[in-house]
Structure formats: structure tokens, C-alpha cells
Structure 1
Amino acid sequence: MLRILLLIIGYAIGNIETGYIFGKLNKMDIRNYGSGNAGATNTLRVLGPKAGLIVFLGDFCKSLIPCLVVRFIFRDNVSLSYVYMLYIGLGVVLGHNFPFYLGFKGGKGVASTAGIIMALDYRIAFVCLAVFILIVAVTRYVSLASMVVMIIFIGMSHMFVKTDYGFTDGSSTMEFRLLVVIIGFLSIFMHRANIKRLLNGTENKIGKKV
């Protein structure tokens, strides 16, 4: 029941759709412009760098803060605190991607997932950030960088789970691994249209007007 409750709380928080709210403050529905989603990248393309940064930070913090709070509340059981943290983080991403009051049409969850990664392990977060910047600088494809980062997140989390996160119980370890995979591949799934455009050579590059 606690796991379900954390998912529900996370989903409610995830429904705070920063891109949509920022767009409305500018008298527009951001989903009707650019790539059609309410995430930071589309906001960057449509409204500029300042708006993109504000939306990114909003989506990032709405998962980072709840995840850190959950880790603190359950700090007496380190491994379980990580598992519970992933549940509320997954709920936030689901709420961001599928907000009920917007017809379940939100963003792609990259910034919110980044908040989960930072709450989980700053080392993974810094590696992901470095790789993200490198790929965007070389290819100018934000979508490609985002998907590669998710694979790194999954791989490094699995690598550290036994040595750094205090797991001694096999079932809890498996639950942690499964949640990490779900969160990472959920973001990749949300990029399925981008994957098609990348393969077709028609994907939008950062800095290009849409």
C-alpha cells in the first residue's frame, strides 16, 4: 500500500506541468507549437533559452525534492529508502508524461528523470550530464543525448546497487533494478517518434527553429 501511495503522490506532483504553466503565462499552449510536447526542450525551441531553463528546473526539482524527502524519511533503512524513492520518482514522471487534466499529453520526462538520478547518486548524475553535453555539442540532437543518458543511468545504477546502496536482500535488489529499468526505458519509449526521425534523418537539431 505504501508503494501505491508513493506512486499516487508522485503522480499528483508530476501533474504540475511547468512547460504548460509557463506557456499559459505567455498566453499560449506550448503543446500547439514546435514538437508538440510540454517539456523543457520544446519550450527552449519555442520560447528561448531562459524559458527552457526555467521549465527544466521546474521539472527537475519536482522529482528531486520529493525523492530526497522520501530518502530522508526512510533513512533508517538505506536500501528501502532507495526503493521508495524510485516509486515516488516514477509517479512524478508518469504524472509529467500523462497529466490527467491535459488529456494525458505532457512531456517526455527527461528533466524529471534527471531529478531522480541526482537524488539517487550524484556521481551518476555528473556522468550523465557530461555525456549529455558532449553528445549535444557534437550532434545537436537532444533526443539522442537523452536516450543515451537513460542507458547510462540504468547501467551505472545496476553496477552500484550491490556495493553502494546497502542492499542485502535479494528481492529488494531485484525491485530496485526493475524500477530503474522501468524509469529509464519509459523515457526512451516517450522518444519513439524521435527515434523514427533520427533513423530517417529528419530529427530537429537544437538551435533550429521549428
Structure 2
Amino acid sequence: MERIICLVIGYVFGLFQTGYIYGRIKHVDIRTSGSGNAGTTNALRVLGKKAGIITFIGDVIKAVVAGLLTRLVFHGSDIDITVLLLYTGIGVVLGHNFPFYLNFKGGKGIAATGGIVISLLDWRLILIGLVTFIVVIAVTKYVSLGSLSLVTGFVIEFILFVQMKWYSLGNAFKIEAYLLVLVIAALAYFQHRGNIVRLINKSENKFGQKKEGL
């Protein structure tokens, strides 16, 4: 039951579409402009740097706050808190990517995924993820590749940290946690399926051009 509640908590927080809300304040529906995505990069392209920053921060914070609420509500639960945080995180990504009130057309969940990483409260995961994201984009100019590198790295690092006992997770919950981080990565890959095809075809837009989104 706790797992379902965490998914619901996450989904509700994920419904806060920062880019869409900011756009509506400016009388623009960013889902009908640029790449048609409600994420950070499209907000940046359509509405400018300020909109991009606000969208990114808002989408990260909603995942962090959802995680904090999960810690507060389920402190002392028999289920490892990391597992519950990951369920909450999946809920946030689902709410962000597929908001029911926007005909299930939201963002791609990368900023929200960053918030999930932060909610785990391991500075190493946070630092490695941030460096990976920035370096890949700086070198390749592909936001999509930076995004996929972030989530792929998160899966590898999380599993490695747990196996090496650098991150505390009860043995009874290891496999479940590994599957959950794989689901988070799978959601990111699914939302970036078009970007992946363009990367393979070498037709993907680089940062500073027209399309892409978080």
C-alpha cells in the first residue's frame, strides 16, 4: 500500500508543469511552439533564458519536495526509504511526462529525474550526475545525449554504490530498487525515442538550435 501511495504522491507533484504554467502566464502554450515539449529546453527556446531557468528549477524542486514528503510520511516504515523514494520519483516523472489535464502531453522527465537523485541525499550521486550532464552537453552540444547520459549514469552508479556498500540499502530491497532505477531510465529513453533516432541519423539539433526538451 505504501508503494501505491508514493506513486500517487509523486504523480500529483509531477502534475505541476512549470514550463506550461509559466508559458500560460506569458500567454503562450509552449506545447504548440518549438519542439512542442513542456520541458526546460523548449521553454528556453520559446520564452528565453529566464523561462528555461525557472522551468528547470521548478521541475527539479517538485521531485525534491515529493521526496521530502515521502520521508516525512513514511519515516520508520518497514519498507526501505530508498525504495519508497524511487516509487515517488517514478510517480513524479509519470506526472511530468503524462499530465492527465494536458491530454498526457508533458515533458521528458530529465529535470524531475535530477530531483529524484537529489532526494536520495547522496552528494556523490548528485555531483557525478551534474558533471556528466554538463560535460556531455558541453562537448557534444546535444541536450538529449546529456540527458540520456545522466539517467544511464544514474543507473550504473546507483547499482555500483549499493553493491560496494557505499550507499545504504537493505539486502531484501536491492533487486526491487535496481528495477525501479531501470524503470526511471526506461521512461527517459522512451520519451527521447525521437531524439535517439535523430542522434543515430546525425540529424539531431544541437543546443542553440530549434528542437529538444527536458
CA deviation profile, 1:10-57 (whole Å, cap 9, x unmatched): 111111111110110110110111111100011111111111000000
1:134 aligns with 2:115: no
RMSD (Å) for aligned C-alpha atoms: 1.6
1:95 aligns with 2:95: yes
Q: Read off the aligned partner of 2:192 and give its amino acid letter.
A: H
Aligned length: 209
Q: Who is 1:38 aligned against?
A: 38
Q: CA deviation at 1:169?
A: 3.0
Q: CA deviation at 1:131?
A: 1.4
**Structure in which a larger fraction of residues adopt helix:** 1
CA deviation profile, 1:109-133 (whole Å, cap 9, x unmatched): 0000000011112211211111111
Unpaired runs of at least 5, structure 2: none
TM-score (norm 2): 0.92
Report % sequence identity. 49
Relative contact order higher in (CA < 8 Å, ≥ 6 apart): 2
- Kindly tell me: are residues 114 and 78 of structure 1, through their superposed partners in 2, closer, same or farther at Cα, counting changes over 3 Å? farther
Distance 1:65 1:164 in 2: 25
CA deviation profile, 1:184-206 (whole Å, cap 9, x unmatched): 22111110000111112221111
Q: CA deviation at 1:88?
A: 1.0
Q: Read off the aligned partner of 1:108 and give its amino acid letter.
A: K
Q: CA deviation at 1:9?
A: 1.7
Distance 2:174 2:55 in 1: 33
Distance 1:25 1:151 in 2: 35
Q: Who is 1:167 aligned against?
A: 169
TM-score (norm 1): 0.93
Residues 188-203 of structure 1 aligned to structure 2 (within 5 Å): 188-203=189-204
Distance 1:209 1:168 in 2: 45
Kindly indicate whether the alpha-carbon contact (under 8 Å) linking 1:79 and 1:167 is maintained by their aligned counterparts in 2. Answer: no
- Kindly tell me: are residues 185 and 151 of structure 1, through their superposed partners in 2, closer, same or farther at Cα, counting changes over 3 Å? same
Kindly indicate whether the alpha-carbon contact (under 8 Å) linking 1:71 and 1:82 is maintained by their aligned counterparts in 2. Answer: no
Q: Who is 1:51 aligned against?
A: 51
- Kindly tell me: are residues 124 and 166 of structure 1, through their superposed partners in 2, closer, same or farther at Cα, counting changes over 3 Å? closer
Q: Who is 1:149 aligned against?
A: 150
1:63 aligns with 2:63: yes
Kindly indicate whether the alpha-carbon contact (under 8 Å) linking 1:82 and 1:165 is maintained by their aligned counterparts in 2. Answer: no
Distance 2:93 2:46 in 1: 22
Q: CA deviation at 1:76?
A: 4.0
